[in-house]
């Protein structure tokens, strides 16, 4: 090996938008290594179907043809079982060494020890660079910071956080990339078929909600402040570079965990964005990070859409998630958003068996008090390994280890809430009420009164029927709106259930 540069293949299951493997591909290509990327199937809300035998054969056949020395697999918790199985087939077909990385291997590296030659813990850029150099030199991988080898008893310390401004831009080229989907190998970067691009101006989050991977990262990084931001220069350069490749996208979604930046950064960004990019953009926001003057500046710069994580409306339920009681802030934000015609999506967590009737009513009250129009993303509570919320659910007898995501795969069927999932009558009624509260054509007073009706909440057929009907209307009106704006793509139609009434999400 010492006289030849090794060839790399990166694979990620059900994640055509995956940024992690694009970052690693950029790092490897910058260092001159031949790198291939395989997006193994695309992801759809509540409808993840196992790959067919043909698709696994196509994956292995494609990898064998490119002849990698190392295959890197990046994945999150739901895909653990699938990846463990497929990795064996990949090894047999290619003889390559296998490296696991991504969110799940980062905080549960022990789950990969049985099938991976190395498991990357934390940010992968320095780890993959070390792997490449050692492999090229024909040296062992032992001692690479953040890389757990099968014989290691414990996970080695993750490398220091990377300086985000020194990283190359994600690999946006079409070279050496395929998507395997529907029994076909489709060449090129599947992002090309999307109407928007996702960008991170930062990594990490200053909060630690009990259901979120950010809190679990404390087990890896300790109490170190994980939030780091990129310079405005670096962000703008990346978007401009992406535009040169994917001229087609019409919108930018900032996927930062929460769009929180100091005033000086905001001022520079808001001044330069309209001049240098000029596209509408979306952000995610935790109410704790809300600042009126920031939102006003961002609106003037092109902010069109805010996805706000409300999650819980009562102080008691917020505490279960290690969050602050922010109902009042959400209302203040809602009024500001209405004044500026901002599109708003409120994220809400449902199916929490620890929540009381009072907690549920508080959510219905909050949603009926927020200025319309707005949309809701209703999530079914899913518990991930190493999360505080799982510990509480288990300790209170609501969940067992076998139901933990990774062993179970609830997210394949029920990540966003839909009525095809079995749940108690009161929860069905609650989901219907939250969905109805967001519909401008349903009187808020009706929704509030229905939430107090024992008859309607114990026999929720009427409420769920009405909610399903209004969800279909909403889905098609969103589709029409996106069509008019030129943002409707086949990828989005498939992700959101296309023409299947069974799969209509509650929203």
Binding residues (CB under 6 A) for ligand B12: these are 12-15, 17-21, 23-24, 43, 45, 72-74, 76-78, 99, 101-104, 106, 120, 123-125, 127-128, 198, 200, 212-213, 255, 257, 384, 411, 415
Say which entry of ligand B12, ligand SF4, none residue 208 contacts (CB below 5 to 8 A, set by partner kind): ligand SF4
Q: How far is the CB of 203 from ligand B12 (least distance, A)?
A: 7
**Contact set with ligand SF4 (CB under 6 A):** 205, 207-209, 212, 214, 257-258, 286, 309
Instruction: Between 171 and 257, name the residue whose CB sits nearer to ligand SF4.
Output: 257
Instruction: Between 406 and 460, name the residue whose CB sits nearer to ligand B12.
Output: 406
Instruction: Between 273 and 384, name the residue whose CB sits nearer to ligand SF4.
Output: 384
Return the residue nearest ligand B12 (CB atom): 101
Instruction: Between 103 and 113, name the residue whose CB sits nearer to ligand SF4.
Output: 103
Instruction: Between 45 and 231, name the residue whose CB sits nearer to ligand B12.
Output: 45
Q: How far is the CB of 78 from ligand B12 (least distance, A)?
A: 5
Say which entry of ligand B12, ligand SF4, none residue 72 contacts (CB below 5 to 8 A, set by partner kind): ligand B12
**CB atoms inside a 10 Å sphere around CB 145:** 14
Q: How far is Cα 199 from Cα 170, in angstroms, rounded to an integer?
A: 10
CA distances from 274 to 22, 297, 314, 372 (A): 27, 12, 39, 28
Query: What residues have CB less than 8 Å from 505, skipping those under 6 apart?
Result: 45, 46, 378, 416, 417, 418, 471, 475, 496, 497
Q: How far is the CB of 266 from ligand SF4 (least distance, A)?
A: 18
DSSP secondary structure string for all residues of 300-311: HHTEEEEEEEEE
Q: How far is the CB of 369 from ligand SF4 (least distance, A)?
A: 23
Q: How far is Cα 311 from Cα 380, in angstroms, rounded to an integer?
A: 11
CA dihedral over 384, 385, 391, 397, signed as positive or negative: positive
195: left (phi over 0), alpha (psi -120 to 50) or beta: alpha
* 217-198-18-167 Cα dihedral, nearest 10 degrees: -70
Q: How far is the CB of 415 from ligand SF4 (least distance, A)?
A: 14
Q: How far is the CB of 122 from ligand B12 (least distance, A)?
A: 7
Say which entry of ligand B12, ligand SF4, none residue 261 contacts (CB below 5 to 8 A, set by partner kind): none
Q: Where are the alpha helices (DSSP H) in 201-348?
A: 213-216, 218-221, 232-245, 263-276, 292-301, 315-320, 327-339
């Amino acid at each position: 090996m010492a006289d030849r540069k090794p060839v790399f293949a990166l694979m990620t299951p059900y994640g055509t938008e995956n940024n992690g493997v694009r970052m690693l591909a950029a790092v490897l290509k910058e260092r001159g290594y031949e790198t291939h990327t395989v997006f193994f199937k695309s992801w759809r809300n509540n409808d993840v179907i196992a790959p067919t035998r043909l698709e696994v054969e196509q994956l292995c056949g494609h990898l064998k043809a490119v002849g990698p020395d190392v295959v890197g697999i990046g994945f999150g918790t739901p895909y653990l079982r699938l990846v463990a199985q497929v990795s064996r087939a990949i090894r047999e077909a290619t003889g390559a060494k296998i490296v696991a990385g991504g969110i799940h291997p980062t905080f549960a590296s022990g789950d990969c020890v049985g099938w991976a030659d190395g498991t990357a813990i934390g940010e992968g850029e320095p780890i993959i660079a070390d792997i490449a150099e050692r492999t090229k030199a024909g040296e062992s991988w032992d001692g690479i910071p953040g890389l757990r080898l099968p014989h290691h008893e414990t996970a080695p310390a993750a490398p220091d956080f990377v300086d985000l401004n020194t990283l190359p831009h994600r690999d946006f080229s079409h070279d050496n990339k395929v998507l395997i989907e529907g029994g076909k190998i489709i060449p090129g970067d599947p992002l090309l078929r999307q109407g928007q691009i996702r960008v991170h101006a930062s990594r990490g989050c200053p909060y630690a909600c009990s259901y979120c991977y950010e809190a679990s990262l404390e087990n890896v990084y300790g109490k170190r402040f994980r939030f780091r931001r990129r310079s405005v220069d670096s962000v703008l350069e990346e978007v401009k570079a992406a535009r040169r490749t994917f001229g087609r996208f019409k919108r930018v979604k900032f996927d930062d965990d929460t769009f929180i930046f100091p005033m000086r950064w905001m001022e520079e960004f808001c001044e330069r964005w309209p001049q240098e990019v000029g596209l509408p953009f979306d952000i995610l926001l935790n109410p704790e990070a809300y600042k009126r003057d920031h939102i006003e500046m961002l609106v003037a710069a092109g902010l069109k859409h805010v996805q706000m994580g409300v999650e819980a409306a009562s102080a008691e339920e917020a505490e279960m998630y290690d969050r602050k009681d922010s109902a009042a802030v959400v209302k203040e934000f809602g009024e500001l958003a209405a004044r500026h015609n901002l599109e708003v999506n409120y994220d809400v967590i449902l199916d929490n068996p620890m929540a009381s009737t009072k907690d549920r009513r508080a959510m219905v009250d909050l949603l009926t008090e927020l200025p319309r129009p707005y949309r809701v993303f209703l999530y079914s509570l899913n518990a991930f390994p190493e999360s505080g919320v799982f510990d509480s659910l288990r300790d209170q007898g609501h969940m067992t280890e076998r139901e933990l995501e990774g062993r179970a795969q609830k997210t394949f069927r029920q990540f966003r809430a839909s009525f095809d999932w079995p749940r108690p009558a009161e929860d069905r009624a609650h989901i219907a009420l939250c969905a109805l509260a967001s519909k401008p054509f349903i009187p808020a007073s009706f929704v509030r009164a229905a939430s107090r009706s024992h008859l309607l909440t114990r026999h929720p057929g009427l409420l769920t029927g009405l909610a399903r009907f209004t969800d279909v209307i909403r889905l098609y009106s969103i589709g029409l709106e996106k069509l008019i704006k030129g943002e409707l793509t086949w990828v989005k139609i498939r992700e959101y259930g296309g023409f299947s009434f069974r799969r209509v999400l509650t929203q």
